[in-house]
């Protein structure tokens, strides 16, 4: 993958740190000019917090940067609206299913709009992909990867030769004795050394809105097969890049691989990215600690939407981000100072257009600085800091009267292209 197709320039390729190989790799696409991008969406039994949005934002930056490079992006982001936790929340609150999920979905779309997160026009849900989940489960049963047990269906990882390849799981630790894990998810970063559930059979006494009448009988798909169902139904059995939070590296993404590849016989995805957590004053964010932070929390503290977006994307996605008053103020200050320098030298990002002429060597220099950072595993800090330092130099030169109108126009055009990706320079 080469930067800025059609620009007449050749820069370094887009290199990412691939979780699958544990190496830095230049991205090579299955089909020239097109990218199939799979990104994990929210569970909609409760509203997302800033830790969730940090994941959605680095995925958004990747999406936008691929477009910046000239590629057509087919992106899938999904809503998980059927799972054990959703059912537990229904029972705890006494709410109807849609009464619980629809406000959360609306909140996500409002927050996505606030934070400039591109969301595909169509967002599949677990509940709209039950038919595909049933199809996949039946295929897995037919091929011997899955089996019935007391009205439920389980997947036997020992049947799949590449199981755990994303996490690099040591399968020698796998117990000889048959063990089954019947919950959708389990807390913490640990592996369940046994068979994982694909289908929850619904008994009469358990009847609730999240049970469907299907060819498998009355029941619901587990979380472990929901993402594979949504992906294969709407994008097919192969993707170029898959992304998510670091928690998904434990169990979930390897379960997805095992389901999809056992059905198709092909590699599902070669490039995998995983983003780290947001901490609050050095501690993990959790409802029990009472330190959960939402976008509205930061708005109430005087942050603008661009400040929030910048704070969440500036630190490299593979490093933990510690939210404190100091780190938030530092990020806000850096973004605000960059805008002050742009005003001082008389430049403003122009509306993005792929064929916009940067008009000057200075404009092309800004693009080179930006691309060198972004091609380094989406190193936004390196890209932004390089632009910041160059703005400071130009501001100093401008005081000496050395900046021409043509140069200002070129910088403005370059910043317009850059802000198509960053979405923090124009407020």
Angle at CA of residue 424, ends 422 and 426, nearest 5°:
120
Residue 283 makes CB contacts below 8 A (sequence gap 6+) with: 289, 291
Are domains 31-280 and 325-427 of this chain identical in fold? no
Given this model, what pLDDT does residue 398 score? 64
Phi-psi region of 272 (alpha: psi -120 to 50; beta: other; left: phi over 0): beta
Given this model, what pLDDT does residue 214 score? 96
Given this model, what pLDDT does residue 408 score? 87
Structurally, at CATH architecture level, domain 31-280 sits in: 3-Layer(aba) Sandwich (3.40)
**What would the pLDDT profile of 32-48 be if each residue is shown by its tens digit?**
899 999 998 999 999 99
Q: Which of 2, 117, 1, 97 is nearest to 48 (CA)?
A: 117
CATH topology of domain 325-427: 1.20.120
Question: Is residue 198 a contact partner of residue 132, using CB atoms and an 8 Å limit?
Answer: no
Higher pLDDT, 207 or 203: 203
**What would the pLDDT profile of 371-420 be if each residue is shown by its tens digit?**
999 999 999 999 999 999 999 999 887 665 677 888 888 899 999 999 99
Backbone angles phi, psi at 366, to 5 degrees: -60, -40
**What would the pLDDT profile of 4-20 be if each residue is shown by its tens digit?**
444 445 468 999 999 99
Computed over every residue of the chain, the mean pLDDT equals 92
Given this model, what pLDDT does residue 1 score? 59
Boundaries of every domain in the chain? 31-280, 325-427
DSSP state of 247: G
**What would the pLDDT profile of 348-378 be if each residue is shown by its tens digit?**
887 655 555 555 688 999 999 999 999 999 9
**What would the pLDDT profile of 242-252 be if each residue is shown by its tens digit?**
999 999 999 99
The confidence band for 189, taking pLDDT boundaries of 50, 70 and 90, is: confident
**What would the pLDDT profile of 255-278 be if each residue is shown by its tens digit?**
999 999 999 999 999 999 999 999
Given this model, what pLDDT does residue 8 score? 44
């Amino acid at each position: 993958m080469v930067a800025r197709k059609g620009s007449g320039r050749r820069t370094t390729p887009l290199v990412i740190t691939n979780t699958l190989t544990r190496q830095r790799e230049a991205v090579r696409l299955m089909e020239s000019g097109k990218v199939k991008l799979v990104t994990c969406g929210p569970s909609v039994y409760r509203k997302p917090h800033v830790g969730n949005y940090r994941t959605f934002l680095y995925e958004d930056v990747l999406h936008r940067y691929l477009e910046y490079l000239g590629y057509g992006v087919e992106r899938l982001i999904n809503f998980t609206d059927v799972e054990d936790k959703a059912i537990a929340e229904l029972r705890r609150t006494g709410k109807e299913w849609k009464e619980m999920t629809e406000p959360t979905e609306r909140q996500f779309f409002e927050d996505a709009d606030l934070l400039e997160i591109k969301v595909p026009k169509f967002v599949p849900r677990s509940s709209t992909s039950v038919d595909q989940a049933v199809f996949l489960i039946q295929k897995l049963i037919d091929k011997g990867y899955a089996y019935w047990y007391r009205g439920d269906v389980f997947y036997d990882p020992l049947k799949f030769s590449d199981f755990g390849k994303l996490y690099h799981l040591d399968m020698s630790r796998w117990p000889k004795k048959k063990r089954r894990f019947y919950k959708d998810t389990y807390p913490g970063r640990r592996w369940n050394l046994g068979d994982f559930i694909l289908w929850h059979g619904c008994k009469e006494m358990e009847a609730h809105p999240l049970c469907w009448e299907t060819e498998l009988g009355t029941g619901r798909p587990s979380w472990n097969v929901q993402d594979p169902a949504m992906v294969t139904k709407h994008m097919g059995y192969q993707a170029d890049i898959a992304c998510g939070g670091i928690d998904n590296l434990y169990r979930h993404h390897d379960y997805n691989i095992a389901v999809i590849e056992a059905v198709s016989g092909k590699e599902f995805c070669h490039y995998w990215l995983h983003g780290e957590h947001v901490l609050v004053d050095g501690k993990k964010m959790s409802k029990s600690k009472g330190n959960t932070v939402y976008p509205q929390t930061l708005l109430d503290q005087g942050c603008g939407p661009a400040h929030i977006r910048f704070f969440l994307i500036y630190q490299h996605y593979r490093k933990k981000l510690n939210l404190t008053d100091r780190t938030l103020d530092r990020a806000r200050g850096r973004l605000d100072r960059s805008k002050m320098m742009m005003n001082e030298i008389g430049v403003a990002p122009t509306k993005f257009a792929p064929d916009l002429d940067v008009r000057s060597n200075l404009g092309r220099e800004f693009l080179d600085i930006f691309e060198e950072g972004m091609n380094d595993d989406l190193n936004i800090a390196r890209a932004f800091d390089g632009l910041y330092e160059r703005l400071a130099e130009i501001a100093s030169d401008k005081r000496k009267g050395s900046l021409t109108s043509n140069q200002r126009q070129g910088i403005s055009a370059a910043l317009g292209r850059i802000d198509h990706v960053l979405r923090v320079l124009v407020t």
